[in-house]
Structure 1
Amino acid sequence: MSDVCNFHELATLDAAARAKLLRRSEADLSSFMEKVRPIIEAVRLEGDVALARFGRDLDGAAVTPDTLKASEQEFEAAFSAVEPEVIASIRYGIANIRAFHEEQRPEPMWLKEVRPGAFAGDRWTPIDSVALYVPRGKGAFPSVTMMTSVPAVVAGVPSVSIVTPPTPDGSVDAATLVAARLAGVETVYKCGGAQAVAAVAYGTQTVKAAIKIVGPGSPWLVAAKRLLSDVMDTGLPAGPSEALIFADDSIDGALAALDLLIEAEHGPDSSAYLVTHSRRVAEEARAALPGHWARMTEQRVGFSRTVLTGPFGGIVLTPSLEESYRFVNDYAPEHLELLSTEPFVHLGRITNAAEILMGPHTPVTIGNFVLGPNCVLPTSRWARTYGPLSVTDFLKRSSVGYVTSAAYPELAGHARRLAHYEGFSAHENAVSEVRDGLMARKS
């Protein structure tokens, strides 16, 4: 049955084989790094000319240096090209995403009186400029436009742009333009992959430089982000799609198989596993896959079959519920479904997952498009330290302090002793009688 789906019995695997299951397609980027370096350098030196050339050579798109930015006419045409029902669903999703992210927005400033007359707190201000990456290589993703644009607009970023690969005729996916405008973003550039990261890092004649880029993409994009991480903030590490479908014995295996295919169909570099301690669920799921594939397009069948029979996907049968929890936490997935009729029973045992979707009525599809929480998530086990894209990714935090004259002597005395102990004489002098004398001269 390996031609249908990999089947891993966790209890029979040694440590090396188990560790292999935790790997993702972007684990080794060395080959991509070498290919990406000359692309980045060409964009830095040649600007728009290089972007147009790579658009033709790498994306097969009819772009020229003077058509790299989506025009007002293209935005208007997009609203005519996209079916009204799709536009309505984009509006619906944006409304939910906006409501969710507005709740995330912190207070602009807070101060707490830590000692009588001494105040400390935080102030939040928007990042000056951010580029949003919307992939297109294996499909169109207006959903990513929605998920990246809305929190940037809610945060109040003054300069927001989108970079996305052009279509073969040199245009931008129409639904992406619709989603951008409805979310509040008007600047869209036609460039993708490594060349897009380089363009917003250095700026070109057309593309305005940004100080941060966010958004998911291929290993080419991830490699470019790593190489340019000293030039700009490259955001949370979001690579090829990945998901774990956790299922307990209360679930029909065919339902688990249905959801296993959601992220697996993104592309051959995706990762997707069903994790269950129930042999019945595992066997039902494997048996159901051909029937589900019969209702999918040929391209998506090819992608998902490659994933589930390759090194980054399949079914993992664990020896116990505890081992299922352990595998999930070790894997630290981008997307996690808790497929159970009682999902809250399991929630407390999960510590590493960027997104946790609970119960049979909350498939990844709903999370990806319309529920509200962000679907731009850390991949490749980065969920151990990162969370989903949020409003705070588009804000910067400054500490604020204010000490009154009445509170100063007490704080200064303690600070002076610590400065003296650490051997910092300028620190010590700044809170000594030297300061007292200087301040007295101005009073």
Structure 2
Amino acid sequence: MHWIGETFTSDAGWSHLERLVDIAPRMAGSDGERAAAEATRDALSEAGARDARLAEFDIHGWTRGTSSIDADGTEQDCIALPRSPSGSVEGPLVDLGYGLPEDFEAADLDGAVVLCRSDVPEWFDRFMHRREKYYRAVQAGAAAFVFSNHVPGCLPPTGSVGTEASPVGEIPAVGVSREVGARLARRFEGEPVTVSVDAENDDATSQNVHAELGPETDERVLLTSHVDGHDISEGAMDNGAGTAMVVEVARALAARERDPDAPDLGTRVEFVTFGAEEVGLLGSGHLAGAVDPDSVRTVVNLDGVCRGRTLEVTAHGSDTLVDAARTVAADLDHPMDVRPDHVPHSDHWPFVARGVPGYMVAGSADESGRGWGHTHADTLDKLEARTLREGAILVAELVAEVAGRSVPRLDTEEVAATLERTHEDEAMRVTGDWPFDQ
């Protein structure tokens, strides 16, 4: 088909990725995030999508100041975790290693400075998000939280704390590199350390970007990403690449509509690049709460898509979506790692929690955790234009496939039961993100 060749030689997505990484920072609520959203709106319009526009919403803004860890007169390098409160606290350092639930239960953490790694051991039965470890520390009475990267390279990790009900966390929180974390645990376990954070909290505005292609149907397929990033890096993989791929897919679908050998899209496709994902899925939560869930056939969310050449496609318990992804992989003779699992993180989740069938699409990688993501090292040089183009071809065909299918709604009681069987509900209850008792 002609559109495939055009996509494999297109510079639209990669050029937009270069544009995004040169806008810094893209922190939620910042001028940089606004500039990136405006650039994405214009790129979608240039790609052939119609009615490209911004939709604003209010958020709680957070601006990074200084932070420090003082241990026996030494200053250990750290960065504040977004939405950490300001303050300076002292307490004995307690190293919980991986910070598994049993580690929290076994330790006396009242008034302590809790140190946890960013990964979990291979034998553990689920992923533990940063926010779960933070709020377990809060519930245990800790005075501060120190989040240590497991990836070597002197790279302190970032990532937000806070909840929808209380946007600012309850205790100061900082990220430290693997090397600093190991030093703290070796030299200062049980010793008093002081964690200090200075940050500004204020009212701010974020925005989602919308554009459309295909027939004017009431129902639509959402192709989504998030345009915001953290203020410590270019945010190339997380998630400049996802937004760039949305632009490339829009160009590909516009070309596909002109291709006489390609079937018509059966359903309207709406492209949405969300704001404020990194501080609590605020943009996607805003849209998911404003639309009729029955008006969304499927959400296809791109987050971290260029991390590896093989796309990891998670279908959230939908047999129809599993079959659609496998059909695309077979038709294009290209591998895709298709999983029926649930991933209760990123911008598909506010829709899936309301019964909307959804994909989480990422790049498959050998290493655990985020890799370079959420660190200074998330930069453009790690990515390849070929990977973006190949992924865009697969995603364009996947969107077209689900646009032409009837996709049954998810049973939210079944989703909740699955999360309980896999113990994912434990984390969501700790962080206040469990939506199924409402």
Structure with the bigger percentage of helix = 1
The structure in which a higher percent of residues are strand is: 2
Q: Same fold (TM over 0.5)?
A: no
Provide the TM-score with structure 2 as the length reference: 0.27
Larger Rg: 1
